[in-house]
Chains A and B, each alone.
Chain A
């Protein structure tokens, strides 16, 4: 079946601009996660959505980062006033409750 999809696959933006990254989870998965991976590093947790519960935002690095999940499916991660240190691969994963997280291919963000 279809896996997690993310768009765009690559995004180049200028410092100070806002960006929106999209994630389409696996159909039927109730949990959705965003992670960030800097060059040559492991993954850093950002935010987690589970059903209609309040999201776990404990990993968001600053108030410039926000995410929403509409209709319990698609999610958008928004970064406002981008900075060069925001350059990274942003990965989305989905899962059934308490089960294995499956990742999408990621969005490679470059802030010039």
Chain B
């Protein structure tokens, strides 16, 4: 079935370190992937996205990597800051004309000074 999951439910890092959040997906037909950041009491905030015809995309301090061979997605955050502390969700779009997103359960990132 369709599912998106995360390897680690909680990730603790020191301020200034790089963070890597991983995500596995099961639908090989998914054509679009996206990462959201959600702070407590707020709606998900778009971070970065990537289409299935790419394997890497960079933004400001963030990089998304897509490995379609093993159906794996990762979010890399460079020089992690306390403001990066939040829950991070990956999501996939199944393709085939379906626009809904299928979300994973989320990973909590805790940044320590």
Inter-subunit contact A45/B101 (CB<8 Å): yes
**Chain B residue with minimal CB distance to A9?**
B41
Size category of the B interface is 20 to 34
B69 located at the interface, meaning its Cβ lies under 8 Å from any Cβ of chain A in the complex: no
Could you say which of B43, B44, B101 has the most chain A C-beta atoms within 10 Å of its C-beta? B43
Size category of the A interface is 20 to 34
A-B contact count (CB 8 A): 53
Inter-subunit contact A43/B99 (CB<8 Å): no
Task: List, in ascending order, chain B residues with CB within 8 A of A4's CB.
Answer: 43
Shortest 4 CB-CB contacts between residues of A and residues of B: A103-B43, A42-B103, A45-B100, A43-B103
28 A-B pairs (CB sep. < 8 Å): A4-B43, A33-B100, A33-B101, A35-B101, A35-B103, A41-B106, A42-B4, A42-B103, A42-B104, A42-B106, A43-B44, A43-B89, A43-B91, A45-B102, A50-B99, A56-B100, A91-B44, A95-B99, A98-B99, A100-B34, A100-B46, A100-B49, A101-B34, A101-B46, A103-B43, A103-B45, A103-B46, A106-B43
